[in-house]
Amino acid sequence: MLEKVGVYCRLSDEDRDKINKNDDSDSIVNQRSMCLKYAQQFGWNVVDIYSDDDFSGAGTYRPDFERLIKDCKSGKINLVLCKSQSRFSRDMEVIERYLHNKFIEWNVRFVSIVDNADTSIASNKKARQINGLINEWYLDDLSTNIKKSLKNKREDGLFMGSFAPYGYDRSTSDSHKLVVDPVASKVVKTIFKMYASGFGYSKICDYLNCNHIPPRSVYKRQKGSKFVCSNCDYKKVKWNPDTIAQMLKNEVYIGNLVQGKTTSMGYKVHKFKKVDEKDWCRVERAHEPIIDLETWKKVQSILGTHQKPMKTGEIHYLTRKVYCGCCRKVFMRNVYRVKGKKPEKRAYLQCKGAKKYHTCDNNKAIRMDELEKIILDAINDLLDNYYDPKILQELYNKRKEPDTTQDETRKILEKEKYNLIQKIEENKAFYRNLYEDKVKGAITIDMFRMMSSDYLKEIEIMTKRIERIDSEIKSLEVVKEERREGDLFLKKYRHIDKLNKVIVDAFIEKVTVGAFHKDTKTREIEITWNMEA
């Protein structure tokens, strides 16, 4: 029978590491040469050469291996020739499936040169199986050693990820060390500062996208990285809330490396599983931080309490302060349009257990303004009966927040507004010149309409952004005014006319709202104070 030979060669990373720099004995080139000489010696006809470089011998996840199997099944080749059995596979399951099962079914012979494996020799089967077991043990040991090596490197504070996190680069002197990227790090600081100032994910995204700051995936590609995002359209991709949320939780920005969150399920199973948090590898001060600890703690405190900013960009002073007296879940704030002679929007609070999970009977909402009046009256009553200037001063000093972050955010917004105004003026100048060219007949009316539409559209977009910036600056002024009122409230603490976040945080730990009684049309409201009453 005419032997139609398929030569198969394979080289993986683990094999490459064993090769001496001056020795090419296991290279793809050498394997191919050895097999071709062997086939020529026996007068066999080599139909095709199959070669997989940088592929492990575990499993069958190899392009040319799959092509080889397909050609064996179709009858294109009837003899597979390798340098050694381990080149074909180190997986015992694969050896049994093909060498001792499918190849017999397809009438395909397997020959390896170094270890003398030959499926045409019946007495050779046990030797092939022993080789298969030895190769399997090798893979098992290799997998264990690689995991141990990676764990040791992580514990030494070495970065073992494929790509540096946004805001950092790999060091040129040591690829396992992170160094600050001067451009991206400024964006990271802006994101943290804006969130700490009360801006939500969407508003931060709007700011970044309107300022044409490239998203993480685009920025990496611009720097020449081989990073690939399979779900990204790089021409349309923008900053999104999920990315912002992920970055705000990443300890890498305070200089910590947290690695080993997932691990492979085994060298045969190309899947990963999550690792318990207690088993993560955390190394502090592994590299230069981008975010200071004060900002980090403030951001985490907001994330931890799920405080959601309102449309104004500020966090309502009753957020995470009001709880259900029945199920102990937090009360959610919702705004509804109320019908009547004068339709208006009105805020209500309702038990999350009743509203979202339907597990609580305390389903009657309470008007925000009514609860605010109850709290305000209670605080004033407390001041009338338990007035102590020293205690109040200590409480306020403890909770007072600096205005630094708010001022920096305002500067960012004002700078953006200034740049937009300049660009609008430039576009208007271009439009005027374009109009003069049309009047002079230098361009046609159609050309004028086509070219001017772009300028006018940009002016419209930038004008709307300026309006949003003005609104955001106004909201910052409101927050600052509340803090200013906090200074004044110590001077007139004998009576408070209006609630704000500073006052509520100073006096109240939490407010518990009980179920609504239909008969009496009342409900129990209990206030837990931040001071002994």
DSSP, res 339: P
The 10s digit of each residue's pLDDT in 134-151 is 767 666 666 666 667 777
Output the pLDDT for position 191.
93
Q: Is 79 helix (H, G, I), strand (E, B) or coil?
A: strand
DSSP, res 517: B
Output the pLDDT for position 507.
82
Q: Which residues is 334 bridged to in the sheet?
A: 348
Output the pLDDT for position 374.
93
User: What's the pLDDT band for 37 if we cut at 50, 70, 90?
Assistant: very high
Residue 16 near residue 90 (C-beta atoms within 8 A): no
Q: Is the pTM of this model over 0.85?
A: no
The 10s digit of each residue's pLDDT in 198-254 is 788 888 888 898 888 888 888 888 877 766 665 666 667 888 888 898 999 999 999
Output the pLDDT for position 530.
74
Whole-number Å distance between alpha carbons of 55 and 49: 16
Output the pLDDT for position 241.
86
The 10s digit of each residue's pLDDT in 427-446 is 888 777 877 777 777 777 77
What mean pLDDT do residues 245-266 have?
Answer: 84
Whole-number Å distance between alpha carbons of 405 and 400: 13
**pLDDT surpassing 70 at residue 401:** no
Output the pLDDT for position 400.
52
